């Protein structure tokens, strides 16, 4: 290992040499979330050495400033790459730093691709190690669940990086542990860590991965920033979206040649029910796990845990909610009005219909939020859909409690109605029904000429599956304080959340997948046409 004096010189040189290389390096990384933005400047404001079990790495804290304003903080774990070594990790791309004492250059590569560093992270969590830099510290902690874990034979926790990384990086340790490492740091306690801690150690909710430990970064006396979350590994057969795609593909393969002119006949309804029935048991189980999650999140006594204790809807919250919905509607309908001329004919007609209902949207929101809402607000998942649930082969496990990443951390921690999560899942079923009509999904291949025919079946599938999910959810959560006391009030609040979600989805699709705008447009139209019952 390097001497303290040499290490300090090297760290100083890192701060000098890296900024010129970082814009190109960052844009070459899959986890960098601002590839479309101009990087105006970068600054390495601290370097934290990480040592343990004969291995040495460093954590570079990099501030990234953008050309049109704004900045992000990224954590970059680096390991020194030795040419001619036996490293099994790809060294490219590398960052080069001048070596004033030894001459030449020192090369560094991404430490999260190095098994020695991944093992060091696990060791740090198990031992509760703290690593200090000049202006900050990197702290590892473990929970009681990890302390009680029987690790078994040596080598059973061998690390491997999960290659399908995006904004975060994931590392599996054998088949026992999973570490989610956040590349971009945000001030405050990450909701994923906070929620996982509550569900594991206080509510003892069983259908989410147990929290095993955490990595946190703190600069001076500043707020905590979540660097990583270690949870129990969940053996699975994929997520609930993939599982649902198999069910919907099977359904479409059966009905694809059964033409529909308008509404289903009685015989077609009977046939559809029989085809959907096997999937409904899974839908009921998912609804049960959702209701159990919400009951667990509502279980904190007010005096003991103010961050999780339920709170009533009040006039201030409802007014702020109304303003947020007004801003969302104004922004998305403006985007829709600008874009609708470029849509295919069918989508354009639906867009014009939805645009004509803009005042109706505002009236719906106003009516739902004018009178007091007789229910409690709680912490919720916040970004709940089929992709946030793992299917184990016999059960469902709910994951990823970060909330919508586009929202600020403070908003993601707000208490809301659990019916927002229910609305998210209902919209996800609607997406699942239509996804095969828009892309080659699962095992069903649909010719364009048959899409209109199958759209009628899609509505049938989404309605029956959604109705079954909602009925089971309300049965399990019946009497909970987070539900209004009457059916009419429950449905009014739920439809408010469904409409908000569909409008949010429309904005997303307009910006990212214009070919998919038909799905949220249909959702908005159906919600506006439905009565509250």
Q: 183-195: per-residue pLDDT in tens?
A: 999 888 899 999 9
> Do the domain assignments include residue 395?
no
Same structural domain, 492 and 468: no
Same structural domain, 61 and 143: yes
> Do the domain assignments include residue 391?
no
Q: Is the pLDDT of residue 159 over 70?
A: yes
Same structural domain, 297 and 326: no
Q: For residues 13 and 477, give the distance between their C-alpha atoms in angstroms, rounded to a whole number.
A: 59
Same structural domain, 76 and 222: yes
Q: Is the pLDDT of residue 344 over 60?
A: yes
- Report the predicted TM-score, pTM, of the whole model to 2 decimal places: 0.89
Please report the DSSP string for 336-374 in residue order.
Answer: HHHHGGGS-HHHHHHHHHHHHTHHHHHHHHHHHHHSPP-
Q: For residues 525 and 533, give the distance between their C-alpha atoms in angstroms, rounded to a whole number.
A: 17
User: Which residue range(s) make up the domain with 289?
Assistant: 242-311+373-378+417-478
Q: Is the pLDDT of residue 146 over 50?
A: yes
Q: What pLDDT is attached to residue 82?
A: 64
> Do the domain assignments include residue 411?
no
> Do the domain assignments include residue 393?
no
> Do the domain assignments include residue 529?
yes
Q: For residues 526 and 492, give the distance between their C-alpha atoms in angstroms, rounded to a whole number.
A: 15
The CA–CA distances, whole Å, from 338 to 72, 312, 334, 343 equal 31, 39, 6, 11
Same structural domain, 352 and 246: no
81 pLDDT band, cuts 50/70/90, is: confident
Same structural domain, 219 and 255: no
Q: Is the pLDDT of residue 508 over 80?
A: yes
Of residues 446 and 508, more confidence is placed in 508
Neighbours of 36 (CB within 10 A): 6
424 phi and psi, to 5 degrees? -60, -40
Q: Is the pLDDT of residue 332 over 90?
A: yes
> Do the domain assignments include residue 237?
no
Q: What pLDDT is attached to residue 87?
A: 43
Shortest CA distance to 493 belongs to which of 338, 362, 369?
Answer: 369
86 pLDDT band, cuts 50/70/90, is: very low
Number of domains present in the structure of the chain: 3
Q: For residues 442 and 384, give the distance between their C-alpha atoms in angstroms, rounded to a whole number.
A: 22
Shortest CA distance to 179 belongs to which of 112, 128, 88, 87?
Answer: 112
Q: Is 195 exposed, middle or buried (0-12, 13-18, 19+ CB in 10 A)?
A: buried
**Mean pLDDT of the 84-113 span:** 74
Of 456, 478, 500, which residue constitutes the final position of a domain?
A: 478
Q: What pLDDT is attached to residue 85?
A: 44
Q: For the chain, what percent of residues have pLDDT higher than 90?
A: 64
Q: What pLDDT is attached to residue 259?
A: 61
**Mean pLDDT of the 492-508 span:** 96
65 pLDDT band, cuts 50/70/90, is: very high
- Which range among 124-128, 163-167, 291-295, 304-308 has the greatest average pLDDT? 291-295
Whole-number CA gyration radius for the chain: 26
Q: What pLDDT is attached to residue 102?
A: 65
Q: What pLDDT is attached to residue 345?
A: 81
> Do the domain assignments include residue 383?
no
Same structural domain, 176 and 92: yes
**Mean pLDDT of the 287-297 span:** 98
Same structural domain, 64 and 185: yes
**Mean pLDDT of the 334-354 span:** 89
Same structural domain, 277 and 366: no
Of residues 20 and 266, more confidence is placed in 20
**Mean pLDDT of the 388-404 span:** 95
Q: For the chain, what percent of residues have pLDDT higher than 70?
A: 89
Same structural domain, 302 and 328: no
Same structural domain, 186 and 332: no
**Mean pLDDT of the 76-82 span:** 87
**Mean pLDDT of the 293-304 span:** 88
> Do the domain assignments include residue 386?
no
Q: Is the pLDDT of residue 110 over 60?
A: yes
Q: What pLDDT is attached to residue 55?
A: 86
Neighbours of 85 (CB within 10 A): 10
Q: What pLDDT is attached to residue 380?
A: 97
**Mean pLDDT of the 37-45 span:** 93
Same structural domain, 307 and 323: no
Q: What is the CATH number of the domain that holds 353?
A: 1.20.120
Q: What pLDDT is attached to residue 352?
A: 94
At 351, list the tokens. 């867009």
Convert 227-256 to b/e letters by CB count within 10 Å (16 or more is b).
bbbbbbbbebeebbbbbbbbbbbebbbebb
Of 181, 200, 232, which residue constitutes the final position of a domain?
A: 232
Of 181, 210, 232, which residue constitutes the final position of a domain?
A: 232
Shortest CA distance to 231 belongs to which of 189, 187, 185, 181?
Answer: 181
Q: For residues 166 and 201, give the distance between their C-alpha atoms in angstroms, rounded to a whole number.
A: 29
Of residues 192 and 258, more confidence is placed in 192
Contact 201, 144 (CB under 8 A): yes
Q: What pLDDT is attached to residue 163?
A: 77
């Amino acid at each position: 290992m390097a001497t303290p004096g040499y290490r300090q010189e090297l760290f100083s040189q890192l701060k000098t040499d890296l900024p010129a290389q970082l814009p190109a390096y960052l844009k070459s990384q899959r986890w960098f979330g601002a590839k479309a933005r101009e990087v105006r400047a970068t600054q390495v404001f601290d370097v934290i050495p990480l040592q343990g079990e004969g291995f040495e790495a460093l954590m570079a804290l990099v501030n990234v400033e953008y050309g049109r304003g704004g900045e992000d903080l990224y954590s970059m774990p680096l390991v020194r790459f030795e040419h001619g070594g036996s490293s099994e990790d790809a060294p490219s791309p590398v960052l080069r730093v001048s070596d004033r004492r030894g001459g030449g250059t020192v090369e560094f590569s991404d430490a999260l691709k190095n098994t020695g560093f991944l093992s060091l992270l696990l060791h740090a969590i198990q031992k509760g190690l703290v690593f200090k830099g000049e202006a900050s510290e990197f702290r590892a902690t473990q929970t009681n669940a990890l302390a009680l874990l029987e690790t078994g034979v040596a080598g059973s926790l061998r690390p491997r990086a999960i290659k399908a990384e995006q904004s975060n990086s994931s590392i599996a340790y054998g088949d026992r542990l999973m570490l989610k490492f956040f590349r971009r740091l945000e001030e405050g306690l990450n909701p994923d860590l906070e929620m996982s801690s509550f569900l594991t150690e206080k509510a003892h909710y069983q259908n989410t991965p147990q929290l095993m430990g955490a990595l946190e970064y703190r600069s001076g006396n500043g707020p905590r920033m979540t660097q990583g979350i270690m949870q129990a590994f969940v053996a699975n057969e994929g997520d609930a979206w993939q599982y649902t795609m198999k069910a919907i593909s099977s359904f479409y393969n059966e009905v694809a040649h059964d033409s529909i002119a308008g509404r289903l006949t009685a015989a077609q309804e009977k046939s559809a029910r029989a085809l959907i029935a096997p999937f409904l048991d899974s839908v009921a189980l998912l609804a049960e796990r959702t209701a159990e999650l919400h009951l667990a999140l509502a279980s904190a006594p007010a005096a003991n845990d103010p961050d999780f204790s339920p709170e009533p809807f009040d006039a201030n919250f409802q007014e702020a909610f109304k303003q947020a919905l007004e801003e969302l509607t104004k922004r998305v309908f403006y985007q829709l009005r600008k874009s609708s001329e470029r849509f295919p004919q069918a989508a354009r007609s639906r867009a014009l219909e939805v645009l004509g209902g803009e005042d109706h949207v505002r009236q719906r929101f106003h009516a739902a939020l004018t009178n007091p809402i007789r229910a409690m607000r709680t912490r919720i998942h916040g970004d709940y859909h089929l992709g946030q649930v793992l299917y184990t082969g016999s059960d469902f496990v709910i994951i990823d409690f970060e909330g919508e990443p586009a929202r600020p951390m403070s908003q993601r921690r707000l208490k809301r109605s659990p019916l927002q999560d229910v609305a998210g899942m209902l919209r996800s079923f609607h997406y699942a029904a239509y996804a095969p009509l828009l892309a080659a999904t699962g095992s069903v291949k649909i010719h364009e000429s048959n899409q209109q025919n199958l759209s009628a079946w899609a509505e049938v599938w989404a309605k029956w599956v959604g109705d079954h999910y909602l009925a089971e959810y309300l049965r399990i959560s019946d009497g909970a304080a987070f539900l209004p006391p009457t059916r009419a009030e429950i449905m009014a609040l739920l439809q408010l959340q469904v409409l908000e979600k569909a409008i949010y989805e429309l904005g997303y699709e307009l910006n990212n997948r214009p070919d998919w705008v038909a799905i949220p447009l249909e959702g908005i139209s159906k919600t506006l046409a439905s009565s509250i019952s």
